[in-house]
Amino acid sequence: MPIVLLRLVSRFTARTWRAPALVLLAAFLVGWLLIAVFEDPGAKIKKPHEYFWYFFVSGTTTGYGDLAPATPGGRVGGVLIIVAGLTAGLVLFAELTLWMAKGRTMKANGHAQLHRRDHIVVVGYDRDALRAIIGQLRADPEFVKTPVVALFWPEELTGENPDPDLYEVVANDDTAYERACLEKARTVLVVGRSDDETVRVMLGVSAYLRRCGEPSAHLLAGLRDGGRRTEITEALNLVSADIEPVDIDDPAVVAVAIRNPGVAAIYHNLASTLDTDGTLYRVDVPEDAGEWSRLDVAIFLLRRGSTLLAVGESHRPNARFRLTSMPGEMVRGGQSLAVVAPDRPVIPWGEL
C-alpha cells in the first residue's frame, strides 16, 4: 500500500510546479481557516480581498505591514503562509535554475530547439573550415550579425560547442532540420564527408524544404573532388536546378558564394579544366612587346573571342593577379594575362 501511495504522489507531482502549488494552496486554506476562526469578527484581515492581499505579500515575504493577524491563532496561520511561501519559492527557484542549466547544456550539445530566421545553416561540421568561412563572412558589414548554425554528425563533434560565440550547433538526427529552422534559413550549405554524401544529404534537404512549402533558401553544395565535378554537378541538377556547387577547400570562395547567390557558378567554371565557355589560360606578355592600356587589350581579345580576366604583375609562377582594373592602367611587356578562351590564345602583339 505505501508503494502504491508513493507512486501516486510521484505521478501527481511529476511536474515541478505541482508540489509548490499544493503547498501554497494548503497554506492558503489553513491560514484562511485559522484567521477566520481566531481573529476578531470585525478584523479587516478577515475580508476576502484583504486576505488575498495579505497572503500575497506574506507568501512572497514582502511584508508591507499594513495587515497582520492580532491573535495567537491567526499568527499561526500567518507563520504557515510565510513558511509555505519561502518553501515554494526556493523550490521553484531551484527548479528554474536546473531548467536553465539543462537548456544551456542541451543547446551546447546540439539537442535544443533553436528559434532562428534568415540565418546560415551548414550541414556538416569541420571546425577549422567553419571558423575560416565565418571569418570571411564577418568582414562584410551585412553579415556581421548573421547567425550561423552547424549540423554535425556524432563523430564530428563530441561534447559541447567549442565556439558558442561564433555559431550554434545541432546534432544531425531525425529532427535536426526542424530544430535548426532550416525552412527559415537564408542559405543552406551542405558539406558531406564525400561528394556522394553531399548529393544524398542535399536530396534530403530539398525534400524537407519542399514539404515546408515553396523553398526560398539559397542552396550550396560543397564539393571536394575536382575530378568528378561534372558528374556531381549533373547529379545535383537532378535534385534541384537551384543548387549551386562550390569548392569547399577555399573559405574565401565559399564566403563569396554565400554573400552573392549565383556567383558560385562562376568560380565553379573557372576552377574546371574544361567547360562549355572555354578554358582559363595564362599568357605571358613578351618583355619587348611594348605597352597598351588594359581597356585596349581587353577589347582586342574580345574581338577574337577571348576574355581578359586578370593581369599579373610578372612572369613569376606566384605572380599576383589583379581582377579589377585601375583607372588608366597599362599592360606592359614582362607582365602576364589570365585569359578565358576556347583554345590557347595566340596574341599577335604587333597588331596591338
Q: What is the pLDDT of residue 277?
A: 67
The residues near 52 (Cβ < 8 Å, ≥ 6 apart) are none
Return the CATH number at 301.
3.30.70
- Which has the closest alpha carbon to 69: 82, 87, 85, 84? 82
Neighbour count for residue 267 (Cβ, 10 Å): 19
One domain for residues 125 and 257: yes
One domain for residues 146 and 174: yes
Return the CATH number at 176.
3.40.50.720
Residue written as cell 543547446? 107
One domain for residues 256 and 289: no
Domain boundary among 109, 144, 177: 109
One domain for residues 209 and 308: no
One domain for residues 65 and 176: no
What's the structural domain count of the chain?
3
* 229-239 and 195-211 helices, crossing angle to 10°: 10
Q: How far is CA 153 from CA 5, 115, 174, 228, in A?
A: 45, 21, 12, 24
Q: What is the pLDDT of residues 103-155, one digit of tens each?
A: 788 888 899 999 999 999 999 999 999 999 999 999 999 999 999 999 999 88
Range list of H helices, 142-182: 176-179
Could you tell me if residue 18 is inside a domain? yes
Could you tell me if residue 205 is inside a domain? yes
One domain for residues 129 and 176: yes
One domain for residues 38 and 168: no
**Domain region containing 246:** 120-271
- Which has the closest alpha carbon to 273: 340, 212, 215? 340
Could you tell me if residue 16 is inside a domain? yes
CB 219 within 8 A of CB 242: yes
One domain for residues 151 and 220: yes
The residues near 39 (Cβ < 8 Å, ≥ 6 apart) are 45, 46, 69, 70, 71, 73, 74
One domain for residues 198 and 317: no
Could you tell me if residue 114 is inside a domain? no
Rg (CA), the chain: 35
Q: What is the pLDDT of residue 8?
A: 46
Q: Measured in Å, how far apart are the chain's first and last C-alpha atoms?
A: 105
One domain for residues 134 and 195: yes
One domain for residues 333 and 251: no
Let me know the angle formed at the C-alpha of 202 by 183 and 159, rounded to the nearest 5 degrees. Answer: 75
What is the enclosing helix (H) or strand (E) of 323?
A: none
One domain for residues 209 and 149: yes
pLDDT in tens, the chain (352 residues): 455 445 544 544 455 667 777 887 887 888 778 888 888 887 888 888 888 888 888 877 777 777 878 888 778 877 888 887 778 777 777 777 776 776 788 888 899 999 999 999 999 999 999 999 999 999 999 999 999 999 999 888 888 999 999 999 999 999 999 999 999 999 999 999 999 999 999 999 999 999 998 778 999 999 987 778 789 989 999 999 889 998 888 898 899 999 988 877 676 666 655 556 678 889 999 998 889 999 999 999 999 889 998 999 999 888 899 988 888 899 999 999 999 888 888 888 887 7
Cell triple for residue 228?
568528378
